[in-house]
Structure 1
């Protein structure tokens, strides 16, 4: 059974929806014997293709959005740290040298105690 079919959302399948609704109005015995089965199969296929098309569209939108976000992030980092994050590398080198300078006196103290 299909969920409630929104005609705006499934415009491609509108004819099949109408045909299936019309078929379901026929006598019970005819519908029970499979009178509407072919239409239902066609509608299922149409809805499936429609869902896949919507999924593809959403994926493309997400990719475009992610591309814009990544570009904004790159620009922000470039504004903060300069081109190719030059300033970040300078800060990291200074931090590394300060840490080494702090470790040297500690090593000298431990060496003098031994």
Structure 2
């Protein structure tokens, strides 16, 4: 369902994940009647925000590496 609390992907979402776990611990009927939907939505939003930040950082790193590679190839072509 969601990442474990000890993984680096869920570092900022421990509190909302624990709130969801506490809600689920109240019992099946409580969970099945939709009483945990707000906690579940909060976990989803938190994980989405983390994923978007991770994606943004990865994109920036990839663009930087691409620029470095282009510069190296340009240098190779000019000096060949």
* Fold shared by both chains (TM-score > 0.5): yes
Query: Residue in 1 aligned with 2:65?
Result: 65
Query: Residue in 2 aligned with 1:40?
Result: 40
TM-score, normalised relative to structure 2: 0.88
Count of aligned residue pairs for this structure pair:
78
For residues 1-114 of structure 1, what are the structure 2 equivalents within 5 Å? Answer: 2=1, 4-7=2-5, 8-80=8-80
The structural deviation recorded for 1:56 is 0.5
Which has the bigger relative contact order, CA under 8 A and spacing at least 6?
2
TM-score, normalised relative to structure 1: 0.64
Determine the C-alpha separation between the residues in 1 that align with 2:23 and 2:3: 16
Determine the C-alpha separation between the residues in 1 that align with 2:4 and 2:72: 37
Q: Which runs of 4+ in 1 moved over 3 A?
A: none
Unaligned runs of 5+ in 1: 81-114
Q: Secondary structure at the match of 2:79?
A: helix
Determine the C-alpha separation between the residues in 1 that align with 2:15 and 2:74: 48
Between structure 1 and structure 2, the one with the greater Rg is 1
Determine the C-alpha separation between the residues in 2 that align with 1:70 and 1:6: 39
Q: Over aligned residues, Cα RMSD in angstroms?
A: 1.2
